Amino acid sequence: MKQNPTAPVGYEPESPPPSYDIGSANNATKPIPTPVQFQSQLQPQQVQVQPQTQPPQVVILEFGEDPMFITCPYCDSSTITRTEYKLGVMSWLLCLTVSICCLCCDFNKDVLHSCPHCNMTVGQYRRPCTKKIVLIIVFLMVLSAIVVILNIMMMILTDLYNPK
């Protein structure tokens, strides 16, 4: 039997290869040769492991109304923030709908947090302007408009019944 130059070393076919003729029915009865398993001789490779640098961790703080203990991202000092009240959306909304006195009160102002060492602003607390608050303000505006209309109607009616 003639050796195939492309066949693996040590591979001896038991029989000639099957015919590729579509019409031959005896192909199904011939045994299929099993391949010979080879052990590969791999050379060990050296792998260099480089240390990975960790990205800086960013901590997002939720600021509130009160001063809080922080590490300042600007000067790296550990300190308690200094708070300052500033007019915000809630302040102006209450001022326009309820009273101008709301501009003087701190309960509706936003709060700025700053570092007492470097004076940089490190955070802010914004007063929430929720749907409930907006609905209450709209209700108060409608109620005050009704009161004004009723007062005008009372003045007109008293003038009609009490001529001067």
| SS3 state at 96 | helix
> pTM for the whole thing?
0.47
**Residues 90, 140: one domain?**
no
**Residues 123, 133: one domain?**
no
**Residues 124, 134: one domain?**
no
Q: Where are the beta strands (DSSP E) in 32-73?
A: 69-71
- The H-assigned helical ranges of 48-130 are 89-97
Q: What is the mean pLDDT of each run of 10 residues along the chain (164 residues)?
A: 61 65 56 62 62 60 89 92 90 78 82 94 86 78 90 88 73
Greatest extent of the chain over all pairs of C-alpha atoms, in Å: 139
Contact 127, 108 (CB under 8 A): yes
pLDDT the model gives residue 82: 95
pLDDT the model gives residue 6: 65
Q: How many domains does the chain have?
A: 2
Task: State how beta strands 121-125 and 69-71 pair.
Answer: unpaired
Query: What domain range is 124 assigned to?
Result: 61-128
Contact 77, 117 (CB under 8 A): yes
**Residues 146, 117: one domain?**
no
